Structure 1
């Protein structure tokens, strides 16, 4: 009886050792391929984030330039109006001075 239980324990130990080795190999291979997959998916997410950031930057720059163009246009209209109306006032003053004389 002792010999048969020792042999059965030996067989169980060898089977557990083999099962453990197969599980370890599977875990290593699975982890390796999962890491490669995550590496590529992370790379594509990184590229997508870069393009999103660039588009956000370009949009912000476009809004900034558009805002500045609008402000400069309003200032140009104001300066034009100021010079135009001050020249008209000077011309009217000269014309009325000529009529008085």
Structure 2
């Protein structure tokens, strides 16, 4: 007789476990959908932020490159002007093409 009660007890326990697993699966599904939506929006926001961060880094790199080139051209121009002044002070004629600058 105790075997029958034990079997009925196991049957009822199994039914509650099945119902509990259905609820757990349902809530896990709801949580998964909610997490997916949150990750979708946070991923979109991160995409936009990373895009603008890359754009700023690219702009900074281009601006640095341009200013570096301007600086080098300026140094070369000052050196050339200094060389021309040195040549004039030494009494030498400075020629550019067929024209004399002195």
Which residue of structure 2 lines up, in the alignment, with residue 15 of structure 1?
Answer: 16
Structure whose CA Rg is larger: 1
The runs of 5 or more residues in structure 2 that have no matched partner are: 94-102
Structure 1 gaps of 5+ residues are 92-101
More contact order relative to length (CA 8 Å, sep ≥ 6): 2
Q: Normalised by the size of structure 2, how large is the TM-score? A: 0.72
Structure with greater helix share of residues? 1
1:54 equivalent in structure 2 = 55
Superposition CA RMSD, Å: 2.1
What is the TM-score when the length of structure 1 is the normalising length?
0.72
Residue 30 of structure 2 corresponds to: 29
User: Shift of residue 87 of structure 1?
Assistant: 4.3
The total of aligned residue pairs comes to 91
Rounded Cα–Cα distance in structure 2 between residues aligned with 1:23 and 1:59? 52
